[in-house]
Structure 1
C-alpha cells in the first residue's frame, strides 16, 4: 500500500467504526455523521492506501483482505491513543466493562468484586451477563469471562478454573426416598433439565449407560445458578459445578451424594482482545482475578 504524506486520521476513525459495526449507517450514527460523509471518508482512505477496503453489497458491507489486515491494527492504535489520553487527563474514573456468564457472575464475581474495587478505587465496574459469547468487535466490553477451551481467534485467554459437574440436591428431597445411595436412586426423583448433556455423561461414567432420560420433561431455567436455587428449594436434582456451591454444601442446603466429578473439557477463562492487552484497566483486572484463583500469568 502507498500512503500519502497527509495522514488521514479522520478517515481511519471512520474506517474503525465501520469495520467494528459492519455498517456505514451505524458508523455514522455513532460518529454523528451522515452515511454520505462516512462513504466519502472510506473512499478517501481507499484512495490513500490504493486498496479497496470494503465490498459493498445490498444492505451489507464486508471487509476485503486488505480491510481485514488493516482493521485490527487501526483498532489497536485508537485504543492505545485513548488509553494514553486517559492516563494523563487526570480523569479519576475509568470504566471497566465485564461480560460474564450468569452463573459465574452470581456465584463468584459478585461475591469478590469488592476486593478489586478496594484495590483499584479509580476503576468503575460495569457488569453484563448472558449465556452467549460476546463479539468484542460489536459490543462495548473490555473483558469476558466465559466457559470453553480457551481458543478464540484474536483473543488472549487465561485459565481461571477447571469446570466439573456432579448431581446435587436438597437433603429433604433425598429423604423422601430414604436417601440417595446408588446413582440409579437419582432416577426416582425429578431431574432438573433432563436434556442437559451433562446428565448423560455423568450417568455413563457412574456405570449407568442408559439412564432413560429421553422421555422426561426438558425444562430449561436459563442458567446453572437458577437450577441450583430450584435444587435448594427441593424441586429436583440438578447437575452443578460444586466449586460454585461450597457454602450451600457446608451449610447443608445442598448435598453431593457421590464423589464422582465429570468434565466435558470446558473450563472457565478470562478473555480479552489481543490488541487491548496493554490497556491498564484490563491488565489490572486480569492480574487481580488470576491472583484470586492462584493462577499464573502465562
Structure 2
C-alpha cells in the first residue's frame, strides 16, 4: 500500500512554493495563514526535514524544498490534465434513452439542429421499450412519459400528451360509422386493442357504451405506437396514438383523426437524468435546446394535442 502524506498538506506545500508566501497560498486554498503553516509543519514532520525557512517577511524553500517543489508541481499538472481529458471525453458523446416512437418521430427529425448548434457533441440514441437505468450509466438522459420520478434523478417537465384514435383516410371512408364528431370506436377494428391507452379512451369517452371484451382480446397487437401507426396507415384498423407525435403523417394525409375528441395520457412527458449530471456541459446544452424545441411545438399546436396547463410536476 502506498504511504503518502495527506493531500491537503501536499497541496499547501505546492501553493506556498509557488507564492513564497503563506498568506497568498491560504487565499488560494481557502485557508488562513496559520492553517497553511500547520499543513507545512505536518508535511515536514512526515518527511523528516525542513522544507521552508523564514527570511525576513518571506518564506524561502530549503534545498530539500527546492528539490521537491517542481516534482510536486508536475504531479498536480498531470492530475489536472487527466481530469480535464476525462471531462472532455465525457462531454463528447451524449446518449439519450427513449421509446421507439419518440426517437423516430420526435427526436430524429430535430437532432440535426442540435448537432449544428453543438458540433462538439456527438449524439447516440438508445431505443428501448423499458426504462433504462440512468444511475448505472446505461444512458446520460432519458425522455419518459411517467407519473413520477425515482429518487436521485433530476426531472424537467416538458408537456402532457393528448391521445386519440387515428386510421387511414381510406379506412375511414369505407366505414361511415367512424365519421362525425364523436363516433363509437368498434372493438373489432382496433389495433393493439388491449393497450392501456384504449382503456383510458373508453373510460373517458364511452359514456356508458358497452365495449366488447371478447373483441378486445383479438386483433393485431404491437409493442410501440410507431408499429400501431404503420398498421393503421396500411388500412388494418384504428390505432390509439398521440397525434402530436404523428403530425407529419396527419399533414401528409396518411393518418386521419377519428372524431374531434382528445384525452390526456396519464403521466407527463419529462426529461430526466441523474442529479450528478446536472452540471454536465452536454446535458445542460441538450436540456436548453430541448426546452426551446418543446416551446416551438407548443406554439404550433392549434388542436391542443400538447399542453403545459398542469405546470411542472415536482420530484
Structure with bigger gyration radius = 2
Q: Same fold (TM over 0.5)?
A: yes
Aligned positions of 1:230-249 closer than 5 A = 230-249=231-250
Q: Distance between the aligned counterparts of 1:240 and 1:108, measured in 2?
A: 14
Structure 1 spans left out of the alignment, 5+ residues? 8-80
Bigger Cα displacement from structure 2, 230-239 vs 216-225? 216-225
Equivalent pair of 2:188/2:215 in contact (CA under 8 Å): no
1:1-298 map, 5 Å: 85-86=84-85, 94-178=92-176, 180-181=178-179, 185-187=184-186, 190-206=189-205, 207-216=207-216, 217=218, 219-294=220-295
Aligned-pair CA distance for 1:96: 0.7
Q: CA offset at residue 261 of structure 1?
A: 1.1
Q: Does the CA-based 8 Å contact 2:161-2:269 persist in structure 1?
A: yes
Larger mean CA deviation between 202-211 and 233-242 belongs to 202-211
CA contact (8 A) 2:132 2:138 kept: no
Task: In structure 2, list runs of 5 or more residues that go unmatched.
Answer: 8-79, 296-307
SS in 2 for 1:225: helix
3-state SS of paired residue (1:99): strand
CA shift in 2, pair 1:88/1:135, >3 Å: closer
Does the C-alpha gap of structure 1 residues 175 and 218 become closer, same or farther in structure 2, counting only changes over 3 Å?
closer
What is the root-mean-square deviation of aligned Cα atoms in Å? 3.0
Normalised TM-score (structure 1): 0.66
The CA distance in 2 between the partners of 1:104 and 1:188, in whole Å, is: 26
- 8 A Cα contact 1:189 1:237, kept in partner: no
Alignment CA distance shift 1:134-1:218 (3 Å): farther
1:61 is matched with none
Give CA deviations for 1:261-295 in whole Å, capped at 9, x if unaligned: 11242121110001110011111111110111128
Contact 1:204 1:210 in 2 (8 A): no
- 1:190 positional shift: 1.9
Moved more, 168-177 or 270-279: 168-177
The aligned length equals 221
Deviations 1:81-129 (A, max 9, x none): 999514886x797011111111111111001000000000010111111
